[in-house]
Amino acid sequence: MRKIASFLAIVLLAGCVSSADPNTWPPKSPRGNEWVDKYTGHKIIRLSRRDGTNEVFYFHQNPFPAVGDKMVFMGSTDKGRCAFTVDLKTFEIRRITTINTGFEVVAPKSRQLFYMSGDSVYSTHLDTLDTREIAKVPHHYTWGRGFSVNSDETMLTACYCLGEDKYYTSKMPREQWIREIWKGKLPNAIYTVDIRSGKIDEFYHENEWIGHVQFSPTDPTLIEFCHEGPGHDVDRLWVIRSDGTGLRKLHDKKYPRELQTHEFWSPDGSKIWCDFQTPSLPARVAPFMEAVTYPRFYLASVDAKTWELKLYPYQMRYASRHFNISPDQTMFCGDGEGGSFRLCPSGKWIFLYKIENGKLRVEKLCSMAGHSWKPYPEPNTHFTPDGKWVVFQSDAGGATQVYAVSVDGRK
C-alpha cells in the first residue's frame, strides 16, 4: 500500500512540475541582455552588465534611492565584494566602493549607501562617492546580519549572535547548523549606530537567535525583528523600540507546526507582512492509502497599530521563499521555491501576486527553470520604485547576475 500511495502521490503532483526548458534561459544570442520569456511573454533585461558574479540585495534591504533612477547591486572584484550602481535608464554601471562591502542598505532620501567593511561602518554617496567612516565596531559585529536605516535617516540598526561563526565555518549541513545555533542559546543583541556621531548602543540582549532587524519605514524608533531557528519551533515575529522599550510578540501560535518567516514592512509602515503556513488536517486520497498531511499557505499581515492578523491564502504550487511588496502596495512579488517542497517541486518561477476577494491571484512573470537553488543563490525579488519591474538574481546563465522582468509584459 505504501508503494501505491507513493506512486499516486507522484502522479497527482506531476501537474505541478514546470515544463520550462532550463537550457533556453537566458538565451545564448548577441541580444543576451534582453529577451522575452517564451512561457509568459514578459520582457527580461540584464542589469549587471559587467564581468564576474553580481548579486541583488537581500529581499528586505533597500537598494534604491527615492527618485528611482539608480539601483545598487554587489559585484565580485579583486578587492572582494564591492558595490556598484546601475542607471535604470541607460544601464551605465559605476563602481562606488573600493573595499570589501557587507551589511549594505541604501538610505533613499539622502542617496547614501551604508555598509560595514572590516571593523568599521561607512557611508558612500551614490552620486558624489563621498565616503565617511561613521564608527568602529567590535569585531564580533561583523558576523551579524545586515543594516536597516530608520525613516529620518539618523540611525542604523543590526544584530549579532556571539559565537555563531563557528557553526557557519563547520561542515555541518545547513539544516543542522541552523538547529545547533538555535539550541545553543548563544548571547544575542540588537544595537543601533548613530549616523552623525557614530555612537553605538546595544539596547537589547537575549539568548535567542535574532535576525531580520528592520526599522519601520515611517516610525523612526520602531523596529521589527525575528527569532531565527527551525521555523516550526520558534515564535518568529517581534517588535521593539530603539531605546529597548515596547517589546512585543506579534503572534501566538495556535498549532504546533505553524510557521512564519521572511517578514517585511509595507511602505507606509502600517503592516508587517510575512509568509505564514499552518498544518492541515490529514486527508485520505483513497481508502487504501495512508493519510497525507499538506500544509496550508498564506501571505499574512499584522497591523502595526491594532496587531490584527490577516491571512490571504494561495495554493502550495505558488509558494515563494521571499515575498515583497510594490511601492503603491497593490502587488506582491515572489521568488519561487525551486523544488524545496517535496510535495510540489514546481516553483521555479518569479511570481506576481494581487489580493482579490481575500485571496491571492497569481501570475507567472518568468521561468527560473535554469536556476540552481542549492539553496543559494536565492532570487530575492524587489520591485523597482516605479513598480514596473521586478528585480532578481539568477545563475541560470552560469555566474549569478542581476535581472529584471517587466510586470506588464513586453515593455
Q: Which of 12-26, 149-163, 275-289, 335-349 has the lowest mean pLDDT?
A: 12-26
| CATH hierarchy code of domain 2-23+50-314 | 2.130.10.10
Task: Write the pLDDT tens digit of every residue in 5-21.
Answer: 443 343 333 334 343 44
362: CB partners within 8 A, 6+ apart: 314, 315, 318, 351, 352, 353
Residue closest to 102 by CA, chosen among 130, 129, 79 = 79
Task: Annotate 151-186 with DSSP letters as a single string.
Answer: TTSSEEEEEEETTTHHHHTS-S-HHHHHHHHHHHT-
Nearest to 195, CA basis, from 111, 133, 255, 237: 133
Convert the pLDDT of each residue in 161-215 to its tens digit.
999 988 877 788 888 999 999 999 999 999 999 999 999 999 999 999 999 999 9
Cell readout for 154 is 539618523
Domain boundaries, the chain: 2-23+50-314
Rg of the chain (C-alpha set): 21
pLDDT band at 373 (very low <50, low <70, confident <90, very high): confident
| pLDDT (average), residues 65-72 | 97
Could you tell me if 83 and 74 are in contact, meaning their C-beta atoms sit under 8 angstroms apart? yes
**What value does the mean pLDDT take over residues 218-243?**
97
Q: Which residues pair with 278 in a beta bridge?
A: 296
- Residue 104 near residue 84, CB atoms below 8 Å: no
Weakest mean pLDDT among 13-22, 23-32, 52-61, 263-272 = 13-22
Q: Reduced to 3 states, what is the DSSP secondary structure of residue 344? A: coil
Per the confidence metrics, is the pTM higher than 0.85? yes
Give CB contacts under 8 A, 24+ apart, made by 160-166: 160/188, 160/189, 160/191, 161/186, 161/187, 161/188, 161/209, 161/210, 162/186, 162/187, 162/188, 162/189, 163/187, 164/209
User: pLDDT averaged over the chain?
Assistant: 89
Given a contact cutoff of 8 angstroms between Cβ atoms, the answer to whether 212 and 263 are in contact is: yes
**Cα(320)–Cα(405) distance, integer angstroms:** 16
The predicted model gives 275-304 an average pLDDT of: 74
pLDDT at position 2 = 43
Confidence of residue 346 (pLDDT cuts 50, 70, 90): low
